[in-house]
Amino acid sequence: MNEFSLIETYFNWGGSNLANLGIGDDCAVIDIDANYQLVTSVDTFIEGVHFPSNTSASDIAYKSLAVNLSDLAAVGARVKYFTLALTLPNINKKWLSQFSTSLKSLADEFGIVLVGGDTTKGMLSITINVTGVVKKNKALLRSSAQVGDLIFVSNTIGDAAYAWKQLQNNQTPSEYVINQFNRPKPQLFLGQQLSDIANACIDISDGLEQDLTHILTRSNVGASINLDDIPLTYEVKTYIEKTNDWCLVLAGGDDYELCFTAPVKNMNLLKALQNKNNITVTQIGIINDSMALTKIGFFDKQCCSYQHF
């Protein structure tokens, strides 16, 4: 099967598909609206580095698109289109079919369109480049946190890292935490709603401590956070109580929840957003002018977030 038939067979999804946007030509051609800016992000997923070798094709497809969508969520974007560069060791029709079905399902859920791709032979690797739009000068940035802003995270932190830790120790994670690891939900709706509420925002991919530090560094501010305020599921809370392993929560990463800062004057807007849309966000700290991150709680070790190299 050659590259052309591979794409035709597995990634020509009909409807708002490749061909409608000009694929089959050398480039996809895409309409753009005035008064908007493009936002774009790229991430590579490699077997054994970003997911265990026994991960299903369906979960690989889901997560490799979801983590890119999470980047768009963090800037408050509306998603538009993505490209897929897929490197495969061989042609496994069942694998490709499952991969494609799962990718399409997530793409459809968020209304993002696959406009181009490349398939190559090599070790399994997936590079996805997502593009969306924001109204001009309305992108949420890391660099806009203000002293006095309250710091929030969405949902719960540490579930994916706990699942990963259990997998590495040959334990069986609960369905809930393994699902948080394999199928993190991109917080696109929340990100879009935050553009008139938050000052700074990031998605937690590398770990809460490292990602919050990105906001602090780029905004030239400091912060204090209360470990006891970090929202945890019951099983992660139980694990922490037993082990005091706060590194799992602070540096585990793979959460794909949003961490954002918002001024006190916007708290009514934030509460209204939560009530209207059943969104859970929790205040974990406050931005200050210390130029450092202070962690208040029973924790005295430095955390070192995950690094690829």
User: Using CB under 8 A as the criterion, which residues of the chain lie in contact with its own copies when the complex forms?
Assistant: 1-3, 6, 22, 24-32, 34, 36-44, 46, 48-50, 71-72, 74-75, 77, 81, 83-85, 87, 91, 115-123, 125, 127, 129, 131-132, 134, 136, 139, 141-143, 202-203, 214, 218, 307-309
Burial of 52 (0-12, 13-18, 19+ CB in 10 A): middle
Measure CA 256 to chain center: 4
Q: Is 252 annotated as a binding residue?
A: no
* Residue 61 or 177 having the CB closest to its own copies: 61
* Residue 104 or 142 having the CB closest to its own copies: 142
Q: Is 78 annotated as a binding residue?
A: no
Question: How far are the Cα atoms of 67, 133, 214, 280 from residue 273, in angstroms, in the given order?
Answer: 24, 22, 26, 10
Tell me how far apart the alpha carbons of residues 275 and 51 are, in angstroms, rounded to a whole number.
35
Tell me how far apart the alpha carbons of residues 22 and 28 are, in angstroms, rounded to a whole number.
5
Q: Is 118 annotated as a binding residue?
A: yes
* Residue 220 or 243 having the CB closest to its own copies: 220
* Residue 30 or 286 having the CB closest to its own copies: 30
Query: Both tokens of residue 305?
Result: 């977030």
* Residue 31 or 300 having the CB closest to its own copies: 31
Q: How far is the CB of 290 from its own copies (least distance, A)?
A: 22
Q: How far is the CB of 302 from its own copies (least distance, A)?
A: 15
Tell me how far apart the alpha carbons of residues 296 and 288 are, in angstroms, rounded to a whole number.
14
Q: Which residue has the tokens 């209204």?
A: 272
Tell me how far apart the alpha carbons of residues 194 and 178 are, in angstroms, rounded to a whole number.
28
Q: Is 289 annotated as a binding residue?
A: no
Q: Is 203 annotated as a binding residue?
A: yes
CB 186 within 8 A of CB 109: no
Query: Both tokens of residue 59?
Result: 């979960």
Mark the binding-site residues for substrate, compressed into ranges.
Answer: 50, 254, 306
Please report, in range form, the residues annotated as the binding site for Mg(2+).
26, 41, 43, 71, 118, 203, 206
Q: Residue positions in the annotated binding site?
A: 26, 41, 43, 50, 71, 117-118, 142, 203, 205-206, 254, 306
